[in-house]
Structure 1
Amino acid sequence: MRLSIGASLAALALAGILPASAQEHGASPTVEAAEAAPSAAGDLASIRAFVEGDAAYTPEERARALARLDELEPRATRIAPNAVRLAAAEIAAFADNGHTLMIPTVLARDNALLPYTLHVFQGRIYVIDSAGDDELTGAELIAMDGRPVPDLRAAYNRYQGGEQSWKDQFLPVFLRTPAILAEAGLISNADRPTLRFRTEGGREVERSPNLIAAPPLNPFRSRLLDAPRDGAVPAYLSRPDQTFFTQEMPEFQALYFAMRATRDGRGQPIAEALAAAEAEIRDVRPRNVIIDLRLNGGGDLNTARNFMKTLPTLIPEGGRIFALTSGQTFSAAIASLGYLKEAGGDRVVIVGEPVGDRLEFWAEGDVMELPYSGGLLLQATERHNYMTGCPEEDCHGNIRRNPIRVSSLQPDIPAPLTIEAWLEGRDPALEAIAAWRAANP
């Protein structure tokens, strides 16, 4: 199946099948034979074409991927769909590139899920929606069928490349899908695994819950926005149905701007949202601006470039732009942050957690659907380098024409989101900004 760029990919992103950032990528043809006769053999032929066309693989990595396919092809008629998806994920992960991957939420397709919504805080897995089991809200998942969760987290690295901060965005889907864990040989019971939790009060409890039908899972919508809350709702979790919004924060002498994508939101064209934010900054004339990219998985790096380059000119001398980041800050969001940092220099203070990718990566490829297993592979064909300006011939054209040159996008002020802060409705990034301003009047 060939997916066309633009409206079709946007529809898939909104349906929760394809990540929003893939809208800036094309979509590739699968092998014609795979379309004509869906089978595991057809999928493997398509995966081979994917490997041969993805530019992120080193020669050694590509040889390893093709050797893995050589092992699988004689057994093609005996490979079940879940095994094909796992194999596709593993082969994509050999490239160790954030954009070269099997869309992780596809692992859940046609599989039942654990009823609990999970999230990674500082490398550990916690329940943020307990499906009515109040004792488990905020509890840490510590084992599944006797397998310690740190071992499961390490095992997931086999199926996704790139930075750990990026992998952790999708680890919860892996852990919620017992059939996939069983197929990978990580748990013994695909129907009702035994889960061990450590509750907020420190007590260890076990559950063997009934599984639920898998709903569409949008990999680029944070589960934090959808988890039920009884208490305070900090700004970064407010207005969950809005992609863009502003809020005056007089305690910081700042205008806060939530930018949850670098593409159009539902009913919110990004061009209009950025123009409105710029107009409000010009009107309010805040000393500082806080731009929140923590839940921004990407989109089109061209959409926010001019806004980011202009933003440092809109604040007075002595003012700061505090850019909030997390592991979900990815793809075009990283490019946007690069344009901002390059334009603003030391006036741009990055706060939060490391972004989801390196400063050099490969992207801009196609989306390939595997007809037998339903896997979706995201291919990478063009280089991005935000340290050098990317002068190489294989660099993405928009980056060559509008280069980014920064030495680092690591947080100047580390402020990891913790389970305690999430439960209490606090925002560690804003707390860190308050402390920094007190020390730097």
Structure 2
Amino acid sequence: MKLFFKIIGAIFALLVLATAGGVAANWQLVNQILTYSPLILPPFYGDPADRAAAQEQDIRFLRHLTKYDRSFSADEVEAFNTHLDAMAARAGEMSDAEFYLDVSKAAAISDNGHTNASKSPTYRQFNHAGVRFYWFADGLYIVRAENTFADLVGTRVTGVEGRTPESVNAALGVYTGGAAQFRKLYGVHIMESPELMHAAGLAASSDELTLTVLDNAGEPRSVTLPAIKEQGQETLPIRRPWMSLRGDDLPGEDGAWARVLDFSDGGAPLYLETPQENFLVKHLHGGVYLRPQLLLQREETPVLEQFQRVINDAPEGGYAFMAVDLRLSPGGDYTKVLDFVKAAPGTLNSDGKLYIITSPQTFSAALVTAAFLKYYGGDQAVIIGQPMGDHAQFWAETGFPFELPNSDYRISYATGYHDWEDGCTGKHEYCFTQNILHEVPAGSIEPGVMMAPTFSDYASGRDIIMDRILKERP
């Protein structure tokens, strides 16, 4: 028996040594995980007795958010707690829509794009008015509609419940943190729902939405849309704002919705061609166009190999231009683009241009990719399009999910600091570990050439940005 315990003790000692050795050898990674990826345990409050208890438990757990999220300033933490105190006083009285919006407002107090309540409840849980909105340079338009309201497709919205779309957008900005253009993008998800608009105090009823639109003759017309809640809505896949522009059926539409564009016979502009594909490459006029979306290395998104193929396929003498279209990219893991962004400028000929196409949907790792390309591309690089969905300085990175125990609303939180204008290494206590290794001072990440499409640009099937690029190619 003594021998047995000696053997067990020896094995335990070896495991401890091996673990210690592994930690020492990978201390940087271990330190990164410990610092930026917190373990969040679910609360053990017990089953709530009623609606009031359920909301009170969610609010109690939500108070822990600022223990993990570092984007809140001291004043914002105070405002956050004051807001939660007001929520707690109304526990049980709030409708689901009111509670969701109050949770969203609480998270948005830090005004950080990576600190937000999930937007999926806006289209999975709550009703909608049977239309999809999208902002263009010349205003808000209906780009898709349930077939009953097909005649509204392509009309400009000039009024929402008696208010201008711009004033409604301003009022909805409190429910999303981040840059103004990012908040505007996601505000339409709320604007499309009578239930959420009513909860926000912006609609008279939770069962209908009244709009004023301009018809084809430019005449104003008032229309009241009844609320719709569809079977299977709760299982819809993620819906990003740009997807309303697609020329094919979206999940859940099943041919029952009309849309501005239909690309079933081809002819889509490159940014909307085969939108279900995560990575699109086109060789044209001696140059190359690539449109990555999610920047993650997975079996279904092998971005490392796809980026490398673009580099390997460069013609002798180099590409005449490279257009990296990040308009539809929500981000991912920026370490997966490092080899590409460093090699891309070297694939251009001496007169070649590196075009970096951006929009308010260019976010997180996609924004970092744009900064990398601008930095490594030097004088050959130009950012063209619209301002991206975040500032050059922002908080990101996360750990285990932060999810409210009863409503199941998930809140994204941020633990690591980024500065892609000047760099944060040595200047900030929580400069993210990978930034210390890889960051570059890219300078301003605002577009050098500002271009925003109008509705008519979109409706014609044109891509004004690629038209310009191809016109001025070397």
Q: How far off its partner does 1:127 sit?
A: 1.1
The one-character-per-residue Cα deviations of 1:102-133 (angstroms, maximum 9, x if unpaired) are 12232334211121121111373211112234
**Counterpart-to-counterpart distance in 2, 1:26 and 1:114:** 39
The one-character-per-residue Cα deviations of 1:281-307 (angstroms, maximum 9, x if unpaired) are 257942111111000010111111211
**Which shifted more, 26-35 or 260-269?**
26-35
Report the equivalent of 1:297: 330
**Which shifted more, 113-122 or 197-206?**
197-206
Establish whether residue 55 from structure 1 lines up as the match of residue 89 from structure 2: no
Q: How far off its partner does 1:43 sit?
A: 1.0
Report the equivalent of 1:45: 60
**Counterpart-to-counterpart distance in 1, 2:188 and 2:210:** 16
The one-character-per-residue Cα deviations of 1:136-166 (angstroms, maximum 9, x if unpaired) are 2221222222232222101111111211111
Alignment of 1:11-160 (within 5 A): 29=40, 31-33=42-44, 37=48, 39-122=54-137, 124-132=139-147, 133-160=149-176
Alignment of 1:236-315 (within 5 A): 236-250=271-285, 253-264=286-297, 267-282=300-315, 285-315=318-348
Q: How far off its partner does 1:310 sit?
A: 1.0
Q: Answer whether contact 1:52 1:62 (CA < 8 A) is retained.
A: no
Report the equivalent of 2:403: 369
1:120 aligns to what SS in structure 2? strand
Residue 157 and residue 262 in structure 1: after superposition, are their counterparts in 2 closer, same or farther (change >3 A)? same
**Counterpart-to-counterpart distance in 1, 2:192 and 2:127:** 9
**Counterpart-to-counterpart distance in 2, 1:192 and 1:284:** 61
1:319 aligns to what SS in structure 2? strand
Report the equivalent of 1:387: 421
Residue 100 and residue 184 in structure 1: after superposition, are their counterparts in 2 closer, same or farther (change >3 A)? same
Alignment of 1:390-429 (within 5 A): 390-391=424-425, 392-429=428-465
TM-score, structure 1 normalization = 0.87
Q: How far off its partner does 1:398 sit?
A: 0.8
Residue 355 and residue 309 in structure 1: after superposition, are their counterparts in 2 closer, same or farther (change >3 A)? same
1:208 aligns to what SS in structure 2? strand
**Which shifted more, 377-386 or 232-241?**
232-241
**Counterpart-to-counterpart distance in 1, 2:68 and 2:365:** 22
1:323 aligns to what SS in structure 2? strand
Establish whether residue 323 from structure 1 lines up as the match of residue 339 from structure 2: no
**Counterpart-to-counterpart distance in 2, 1:26 and 1:169:** 28
The one-character-per-residue Cα deviations of 1:336-370 (angstroms, maximum 9, x if unpaired) are 11111111112111111001100100011243222
Q: Answer whether contact 2:295 2:336 (CA < 8 A) is retained.
A: yes
Q: Answer whether contact 2:386 2:452 (CA < 8 A) is retained.
A: yes
Q: Answer whether contact 1:354 1:411 (CA < 8 A) is retained.
A: yes
Q: How far off its partner does 1:52 sit?
A: 3.0
Q: Answer whether contact 2:173 2:187 (CA < 8 A) is retained.
A: no
Report the equivalent of 1:3: none
1:426 aligns to what SS in structure 2? coil
Q: Answer whether contact 1:221 1:295 (CA < 8 A) is retained.
A: no
**Counterpart-to-counterpart distance in 2, 1:27 and 1:161:** 22
The one-character-per-residue Cα deviations of 1:241-299 (angstroms, maximum 9, x if unpaired) are 2111111221xx42111112212477331122112222222579421111110000101
Q: How far off its partner does 1:26 sit?
A: 5.7
Q: CA RMSD in A?
A: 2.3
Q: How far off its partner does 1:208 sit?
A: 2.2
Q: Answer whether contact 1:257 1:291 (CA < 8 A) is retained.
A: yes
**Counterpart-to-counterpart distance in 2, 1:34 and 1:315:** 60
Q: Answer whether contact 1:82 1:373 (CA < 8 A) is retained.
A: no
Q: Once the two structures are aligned, what percentage of the paired residues are identical?
A: 25
Residue 221 and residue 116 in structure 1: after superposition, are their counterparts in 2 closer, same or farther (change >3 A)? closer
Q: How far off its partner does 1:40 sit?
A: 0.4
**Which shifted more, 118-127 or 32-41?**
32-41
Report the AA paired with residue 32 of structure 1: P
1:255 aligns to what SS in structure 2? strand
Match of 1:225 among 236, 246, 252: 246
Match of 2:391 among 342, 355, 358: 358
Report the AA paired with residue 76 of structure 2: E
**Which shifted more, 310-319 or 190-199?**
190-199
Residue 265 and residue 119 in structure 1: after superposition, are their counterparts in 2 closer, same or farther (change >3 A)? farther
Give unpaired runs (5+ residues) of structure 2. Answer: 1-35, 249-258
Residue 429 and residue 87 in structure 1: after superposition, are their counterparts in 2 closer, same or farther (change >3 A)? same
1:101 aligns to what SS in structure 2? coil
Report the AA paired with residue 277 of structure 1: V
Q: How far off its partner does 1:309 sit?
A: 1.3
**Counterpart-to-counterpart distance in 2, 1:207 and 1:189:** 14
- How many corresponding residue pairs? 412
2:414 aligns to what SS in structure 1? strand
**Counterpart-to-counterpart distance in 2, 1:211 and 1:247:** 42
Report the equivalent of 1:234: 269
**Counterpart-to-counterpart distance in 1, 2:241 and 2:304:** 21
Report the AA paired with residue 145 of structure 1: E
Report the equivalent of 2:31: none
**Counterpart-to-counterpart distance in 1, 2:217 and 2:445:** 37
1:247 aligns to what SS in structure 2? strand
Q: Answer whether contact 2:191 2:197 (CA < 8 A) is retained.
A: yes
Answer 1 or 2: higher relative contact order, Cα 8 Å, separation at least 6: 1
